[in-house]
Chains A and B, each alone.
Chain A
Amino acid sequence: NFMLTQPHSVSESPGKTVTISCTRSSGSIASNYVQWYQQRPGSAPTTVIYEDNQRPSGVPDRFSGSIDSSSNSASLTISGLKTEDEADYYCQSYDSSKRVFGGGTKLTVL
């Protein structure tokens, strides 16, 4: 089994750009798609990026995803930060029989 490691927290000012990383411990990051979920307090998670870099309808194009095989990691980038983006963000991937979440990153927009 592999693990996904995220920074515990990040903070940035409104209007700026922030990137959250997600590093896979073993096996290639490219071997299975990576997803990103946003979770606001008291609410269920919602998908902001699926299949590495795809945005669901309704998610603004300020959100983008990528993977980097050289660092075996995935990244979520949010540009033009808004206060409403303040939330917890989780990366997630899978293998044949397991689904794995990163530990989550608390994004503070201040």
Chain B
Amino acid sequence: EVQLVESGGGLVQPGGSLRLSCAASGFTFSSYEMNWVRQAPGKGLEWVSYISSSGSTIYYADSVKGRFTISRDNAKNSLYLQMNSLRAEDTAVYYCAREAGPLGGWFDPWGQGTLVTVSS
């Protein structure tokens, strides 16, 4: 069974840092592109970042560029999101999602999400 399990969420003060992890199982992680998507409380979905299967190509949403860093460790079947200079507007559930389809560009499956709360 394909499974994605996020961890690392929690309460952090504005300006602080947090590192999210996503543990993948049930598929050959090193063959797939991966993404982070977030959802603020009561709001819609927002794509955050993409990383290619090798890690050589990375994209970010404008809202997080320069503050967040996506990375992966294929030996550990893990995806990461380092979040620095956190703001109140970064408060959200963060999902990791596998890129799907032969041409990519969409998400399936998704993890269950981890909540990040930025507040003093």
- A residues near B, CB below 8 A? 32-33, 35, 37, 39, 44-47, 50-51, 56, 88, 90, 92-94, 97-104
Q: Give chain B nearest CB distance to A29 CB in angstroms.
A: 14
Residue pair B45, A90 in contact (C-beta under 8 Å)? yes
- List, sorted by A's number, 17 A–B pairs whose CB atoms are closer than 8 Å: A35-B107, A37-B107, A44-B111, A47-B100, A47-B107, A50-B106, A51-B101, A56-B108, A90-B44, A92-B107, A94-B105, A94-B106, A99-B50, A101-B44, A101-B45, A101-B46, A103-B44
Residue pair A44, B108 in contact (C-beta under 8 Å)? no
Residue pair B103, A33 in contact (C-beta under 8 Å)? yes
B91 in the interface (beta carbon within 8 A): no
Residue pair B45, A45 in contact (C-beta under 8 Å)? yes
- B residues near A, CB below 8 A? 35, 37, 44-47, 50, 59, 61, 95, 100-101, 103-113
Residue pair B47, A99 in contact (C-beta under 8 Å)? yes
Residue pair A98, B44 in contact (C-beta under 8 Å)? no
- CB-CB under 8 A from A102, the residues of chain B are 44
- CB-CB under 8 A from B50, the residues of chain A are 97, 99
Query: Which residue, B100, B106, B108, B109, has most C-beta atoms of chain A within 10 A?
Result: B106
Residue pair A98, B61 in contact (C-beta under 8 Å)? yes
The main secondary structure of chain A at its interface with chain B is strand
Q: Give the docked Cα–Cα distance between A100 and B101 (Å).
A: 16
Q: Give chain B nearest CB distance to A79 CB in angstroms.
A: 23
- CB-CB under 8 A from A50, the residues of chain B are 100-101, 106, 108
Closest to B4 in A: A44
Q: Give the docked Cα–Cα distance between A45 and B101 (Å).
A: 17
Q: Give chain A nearest CB distance to B20 CB in angstroms.
A: 15
Q: Give the docked Cα–Cα distance between A104 and B40 (Å).
A: 13
- Contacts A44-B113, A98-B61, A99-B50 known; A104 to B45 CB distance under 8 Å? yes
Question: What are the 9 A-B residue pairs with the smallest beta carbon separation, nearest first?
Answer: A94-B105, A99-B47, A104-B44, A44-B110, A35-B106, A101-B45, A97-B59, A47-B108, A103-B44
Q: Give chain B nearest CB distance to A59 CB in angstroms.
A: 11
